[in-house]
Structure formats: structure tokens, C-alpha cells
Structure 1
């Protein structure tokens, strides 16, 4: 039986196939950080879809990663694992994303809620979307921008500089593996701010 080959990986370097010529994980991480930072700054001037679903996530991912990955904005075709739990199987992404987006729509896109309830419901939806993990790489950055857009439309601001990557990863892992949203709520409580008056 042939050994499984991840089609997203370059066989020579073992890192994700990329458009920047990176041949080490360090080079790729540096290019990602620089290029996605520039693309993030451009978001205010773009008219990307605000559909609050997979269409919006794909548009955001494509914009952020178009300089780095040839598959930017495309749904992954492989299954992913992190720690002991896997993310949603690739074959189920479209269907699950539709259900999850419908759940967010039923929740009125988190509008009209006090801070405590906003955080509680944001944690729920954040966990649901995170489990889908629709892209081979770049899910975290894409999701943070997605939720910032949802929050802004609901009258809140998300300051992601108030939580580090380790806090986010740990809280997301506990939510996924133990079905305990409290660490995620605590992390989001640091991040959620009143939106400035226009």
C-alpha cells in the first residue's frame, strides 16, 4: 500500500507548497506574517461579502493568503488533526458550514446582546466554526477577522492583541476536546470591547 502523501506539502522541503519560494518553516512563517499583515491593512478599502458564512470566510482567506498559497480561499481536501482530536472531515465541510451559519443567523448575528451574553454566544459560535476548520492553513487568522466583522456589526470591537496565541489555542482545544467553553469565554472576555462611537 502506497504511503499517504499530503498534496499540500512540497515533497522536497516537507513544508506547505507556497508562492514565495520558502523552503523552511521559518521562512514560510515570516513571509506569512509579513504578507498577511499588509493584506489585513487593505481590508477596510475592500468590499468583501458580508454573508457571515463559508462564502465570507473563503473571500477573507483568499484575500489574506493570495500571495502565499496557490490554494488560497479553497476548501481543504484533506482531513486535519491537532492534538488528540481531529477537525471536521473534509467531506462534511460544506454541509456543516451551512448548518453552522444558519445557527449564527438564528442568533441574529449576535446583535442586541449585553456584553456577558455576547461573549457567551460568541464562544459557542467561535467553537463551532473552529471545528469546521475549512482551510489547510490560516484558519485562525481568517476566523479572527471574520469574528471582528461580525462583532463590529453587532456593536462590539474585538482587540485580539489582548490574548496571545497560546491562550487562544489552549481555550479552543479545551472547548473541542472537553466541551467546556469557559476558557474560551474567559479569553474572549479579554478581547471584547465596546465599539467606539462614530
Structure 2
């Protein structure tokens, strides 16, 4: 009998930290991911302390992010380039740094996030719902297909601001929906797209995504005010297919080369929400049919939208 849970998903955790229910189902609420932090004979899978691992990961990945700001990894902005960036950020933390996600293999990975559509429809109280990412078995092909769009557009060079924002928004939202890595997707995306923007002649002002107190926003409205909108924009795309909120966020964060701003700290770790138990909802269509713009020649464009979409008047990893 096939297991009712993803064995590959459990492989990411230290075995002794996984709890088990009487019915034979695993509980990973208190589980700690395998890591390289303080790995020793005593702790062959790394430190079994989730809080310490989380804080260590945040500090070290931040330092590695600064290295990439000073000395970017050259590449074609394809999948191998994306993986090299992930490896650089997390090489000190995870043994699988730079490797694509392997779980859940046969059903989507799920994260809780705001029910954006309900808010759009007038619901005043924000509720959270599960949002599904791609199955791990589809991640390699889907990731490559999404990022190949960048090369096809000459790495987005030579584009006017409006067209550049259109292309950047589409690729960013699609690769986030795939969720190529087990952890660190948001940080890898920011490093990757910050470099892409720079080489295309634009500046991604990452200071705009820092979480700040409301009192600080009152004195400086331009500081850190895009973080929540960024998160909501990604979830709205996954829920409804609408890209406009994300595009508005990037429009405010992208500066033209004629008026550049210093590249600031990367978006903080809190945005990259932890994955919850995998959902059993499947994607009935093949990968190419779930990435807009990659339909087979005889397939009508209207049938290749990502799953769970319904078009509305509107278009928190990390």
C-alpha cells in the first residue's frame, strides 16, 4: 500500500525530531531540518534545535547575500545559474544547497497564506488558506521552462521600463509558483532578480522590502512599505492568476539607471513562510500545460493557465 505521506518530505528532517501519531501518520510541526550547522558525531544531521538553526541560517545567508551584491555569480539567468545562486547562499547550512526540491514528489507542496480573493471580494477579516506549489517531480522541467523565457528575451536587456516590468513580473511570479527549492526560495529569487535588473540597466531597491515598525513608516513612508504587498501579490497570482499587485510592487521598487539607489539588505527571512503538510490536491495537466506561453502548437492559449485560476478584475520563502 502506498504511504499516505511523502517519504521524500520526511527525508529533509532529522529522524528523531519527527513525531508520529498512533495512526502511523508523521507530524513535522516540531521537526528540525537536517543541516550542516554543528554537525558532528553527536549530531550527524546537524543541530537538533529549530530556533538556533533558523537564526544561524538567517545570519549566514544574509552575509552570503552581501557577497553576491559585491561579486555576482556570472551566468545566463537560466536554471543552472539560479541553482548556483541558491548554493552560494546556503552552502554553509544545508547539504542540499543548490539542489532542486525533491518533495513532495507526487502531490503539491503547500504553504498557508492570505485568502486574497476573499479580501478582494469585500471580506474584512484576513483568513489564511493553503496555496499549492508544483509537485517535486515537475520542478526541474517547470523551472527550466520558466527561466528560459529570460534568455529568449535577451536577459530583458534593451527593454523600456513598462515592458521590462511586464516581463520581470511574469517570470518572478511563475518561478515562485514552481518553488524550485525546499527552503530559501525568496532569498534566492531576490539575489537572482536583483542581478538581472542590474545587468538590464535597472536597480531593484531591496530596502523597500524590509519589515519596519509603523512609527518608522510615518516618518519615512518609502521605507519598507512593500513587504506585505509583495507577499500578497505572490499569493494572489497563485490563487487567481492576477499579476497586477505584484507588478505595482515591482514598479515602486525598480529605479531607472538615471536615478539609481544603493542596493540595500535583502528581504528578511520572515517572508519565506514555512511549508505545512503536503496537500493531496493533484495537478491533472502536464507541466507545459501549466505554464502560460508554453502550450503545444494546437493547444488554445486559454487552456494553459496555471491551475486553480479564475480571472478577476484584479491581478505573508524565503
Match of residue 166 from structure 2: 120
* Separation of aligned partners in 1, 2:14 and 2:74: 32
Looking at structure 2, the residues matched to 82 and 27 of structure 1 have their Cα atoms a distance apart, in angstroms, of 22
Structure 1 residue 51, shift from structure 2 partner? 1.7
**Alignment equivalent of 1:189, drawn from 229, 251, 256:** 251
TM-score normalised per structure 1: 0.89
CA displacement 1:29-60 (0-9 Å, x = unmatched): 21111101111222256563412111011101
Report the more deviating stretch, 41-50 or 81-90. 41-50
- Match in the other structure for 2:240: 178
Please name the residue that 1:16 is paired with: 33
Match of 1:91 in 2: 137
Cα distance in 2 between the residues matched to 1:55 and 1:90: 17
**36-45 or 74-83, larger mean C-alpha shift:** 36-45
1:124 Cα offset (Å): 0.7
Whether 2:81 is the aligned partner of 1:56: answer yes
Greater mean deviation of Cα atoms: 44-53 or 97-106: 44-53
Tell me the distance in 1 between the aligned counterparts of 2:196 and 2:247.
17
List alignment gaps of at least 5 residues for structure 2. 18-30, 39-46, 113-129, 211-226, 262-318
| In structure 1, C-alpha distance between the alignment counterparts of 2:167 and 2:70, rounded to whole Å | 29
Whichever structure has more helix as a proportion of its residues is 1
Once residues 51 and 139 of structure 1 are traced to their aligned partners in structure 2, the CA distance between those partners, rounded to angstroms, is: 19
Greater than 4 Å deviation, 4+ residue runs: 44-47
Cα distance change, pair 167–15 in 1 and its aligned pair in 2 (3 A): farther
Relative to structure 2, which stretch is displaced further, 17-26 or 64-73? 17-26
Q: Tell me the distance in 1 between the aligned counterparts of 2:145 and 2:11.
A: 28
Q: How many residues align?
A: 197
Say which of 88, 94, 100 aligns to 1:69.
Answer: 94
TM-fit CA distance, 1:160:
1.7
Q: TM-score, normalization: structure 2?
A: 0.57
Bigger-Rg structure (1/2): 2
* Per-residue deviation, 1:113: 2.1
Report the secondary structure of 1:9's partner residue.
coil
